[in-house]
């Protein structure tokens, strides 16, 4: 390809980043910080009997770990102990991990700033205690950022691993849907929930997923776990699973990265936008190519998510009645209210955000609303998935390939040839539209304001695609004390389904070039 074409495509991508696209009023959401419930301190010098390094593992409080309570940060599960390990916990124990404690979260994973817990509010760390740590896996992110854990488990439904990573300056990875087992994980929304990993760098995550072969592990206990034969077929269509190399200097060369024009929203913090642009420039310097792409259905993705997720949550949480599951309300003479059995148990056991989403989900599943809301949201979800499949070079191994409809394309996207626009290996965008907000401001936000913070992470979740957030440098005014504290943002990379190995390799290399404080593997 000629130098002129490469540079003209990048100039087009630069114009996309520099131009604001309005998608409504988006405000910052706070994240909550969680503490590790254990007296064990993390240390990289701890070795096992066979002289291998032990991995200190923090486990989100909605994932079962034998010997620890699993409360999902909710009163209704106070003191709940699950007498076995979740599959993912067992797998990591087999890989020389030791569970140092359970980490705090938003109640049942419903929140953006880890502030909806029944037990504690989670704060950011390392001088940012007044700021949000992100949610719902804020406790896991804080444990990693403080050095209490080498690796942490979280769950990502619409960004709950990537958002805390962006707000705490660490790495958060959401794998392809169905790769990691969800057995032993208390569900929020079954079709969206994905077990994710958080660490200071990409290397520990790459070792677990690729080097140790976790991507091959089918779990017969989990109906959403991809079958072994399908895993083998998907893996043969991909590269990068043969071995893990944390520093593949040629990982970015000759690759094409897409800048989604719909992600450049008007409400994007100017410093985040500038960091995004500088990351794109760094990719060009490393031998990659950057082009603008269009994902037309993105503007409806957030609305669809907040119909589908609460609907599935309402169904999942219906079992918590104090009779079969959950802590029964014993403070009142009767558990019923106006003739409704176990009403008081659910009223006192669930927090306000959980009850809000149960009501929302129950309504969208009702006979009068299902066609107008739930069914329409599922159609939007299919369109979001179709948009992703059209822009990636690799085909989705679970779907039939579809041509790009030029009538859906924005005018700012250049045609690669007569067949349509350029296709890409990965998408590059911010993780969160702002730096971590003050918890004081978060508490003043309306629920809708909080939901809007997920606008950049939800699309990949709806499509079940792998996505990773790595920290990036953003411009700092040396005379502004707050900007000097908040000198980082989250940079998100999204890949095609089951392209997790290449995604991790690219993220590992790129992260060391876009963030000056990134520890070396």
Cα 43 to Cα 40, 147, 298: the distances in Å are 9, 8, 42
Helix boundaries (H) for 254-373: 270-285, 298-316, 343-349, 352-364
* Given the residues 136, 140, 461, 505, the one annotated as active site: 136
Q: Which of 160, 450, 469, 512 is an active site residue? A: 160
The upper half-sphere exposure of residue 413, i.e. CA atoms within 13 Å in the direction of its Cβ, equals 26
Catalytically annotated residue among 60, 102, 174, 327: 60
Question: Is 442 in contact with 30 (CB distance < 8 Å)?
Answer: yes
Smallest CA-to-CA distance from 495 within 480, 511, 506 is with 506
Q: Is 506 helix (H, G, I), strand (E, B) or coil?
A: helix
Strand 55-60 to 151-156 pairing: parallel
Task: Identify the DSSP state of 75.
Answer: G
Cα–Cα distance measured from residue 349 to residue 405, given in angstroms and rounded to the nearest whole number: 49
In three-state form (DSSP H/G/I as H, E/B as E, the rest C), the secondary structure along 222-272 is CCCCCCHHHHHHHHHCCCCCCCCCCCCCCCCCCCEEEEEHHHCECCCCHHH
Per the annotation, the verdict on 508 as an active-site residue is: no
- Would you call 362 a catalytic residue per the annotation? no
Which 3 state secondary structure label does DSSP give 124? Answer: coil
Residue positions annotated with a catalytic role:
60, 136, 160
């Amino acid at each position: 390809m000629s130098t002129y074409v490469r540079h003209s495509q990048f100039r087009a991508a630069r114009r996309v980043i520099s131009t604001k696209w309005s998608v409504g009023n988006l405000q910052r959401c706070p994240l909550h910080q969680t503490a590790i419930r254990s007296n064990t301190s993390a240390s990289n010098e701890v070795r096992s009997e066979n002289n291998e390094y032990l991995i200190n593992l923090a486990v989100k409080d909605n994932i079962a770990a034998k010997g620890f309570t699993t409360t999902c940060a909710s009163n209704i599960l106070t003191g709940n102990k699950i007498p076995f390990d979740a599959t993912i916990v067992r797998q990591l124990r087999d890989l020389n991990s030791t569970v140092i404690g359970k980490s705090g979260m938003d109640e049942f994973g419903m929140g953006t700033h880890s502030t909806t817990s029944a037990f504690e509010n989670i704060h950011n760390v390392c001088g940012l205690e007044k700021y949000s740590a992100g949610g719902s896996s804020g406790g896991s992110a804080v444990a990693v950022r403080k050095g209490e854990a080498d690796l942490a488990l979280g769950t990502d439904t619409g960004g709950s691993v990537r958002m805390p990573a962006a707000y705490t300056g660490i790495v958060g990875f959401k794998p392809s849907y169905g790769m990691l087992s969800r057995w032993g994980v208390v569900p929020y929304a079954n079709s969206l929930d994905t077990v994710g990993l958080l660490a200071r760098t990409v290397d520990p995550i790459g070792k677990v997923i690729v080097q140790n072969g976790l991507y091959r592990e089918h779990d017969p206990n989990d109906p959403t776990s991809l079958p072994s034969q399908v895993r083998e077929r998907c893996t043969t269509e991909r590269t990068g699973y043969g071995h893990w190399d944390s520093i593949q200097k040629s990982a970015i060369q000759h690759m094409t990265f897409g800048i989604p024009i719909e992600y450049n929203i008007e409400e994007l913090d100017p410093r985040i936008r500038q960091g995004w642009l500088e990351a794109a420039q760094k990719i060009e310097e490393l031998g990659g190519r950057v082009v603008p792409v269009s994902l037309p259905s993105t503007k409806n993705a957030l609305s669809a998510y907040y119909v589908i997720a609460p609907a599935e949550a309402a169904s999942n949480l219906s079992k918590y009645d104090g009779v079969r599951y959950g802590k029964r309300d014993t403070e009142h003479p009767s558990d019923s209210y106006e003739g409704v059995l176990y009403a008081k148990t659910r009223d006192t056991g669930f927090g306000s955000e959980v009850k809000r989403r149960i009501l929302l989900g129950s309504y969208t599943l009702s006979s009068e609303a299902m066609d107008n809301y739930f069914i329409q949201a599922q159609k939007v979800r299919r369109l979001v998935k179709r948009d992703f499949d059209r822009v990636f070079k690799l085909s989705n191994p679970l779907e039939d390939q579809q041509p790009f409809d030029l009538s859906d394309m924005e005018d700012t996207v250049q045609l690669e040839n007569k067949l349509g626009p350029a296709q890409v290996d990965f998408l590059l965008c911010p993780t969160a539209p702002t730096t971590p907000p003050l918890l004081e401001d978060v508490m003043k936000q309306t629920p809708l304001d909080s939901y809007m913070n997920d606008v950049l992470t939800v699309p990949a979740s709806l499509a079940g695609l792998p996505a990773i957030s790595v920290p990036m440098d953003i411009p700092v005014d040396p005379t502004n004390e707050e900007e000097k504290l908040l000198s980082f943002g989250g940079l998100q990379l999204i890949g095609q389904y089951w392209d997790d190995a290449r995604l991790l390799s690219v993220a590992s290399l790129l992260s060391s070039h876009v963030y000056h404080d990134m520890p070396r593997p």
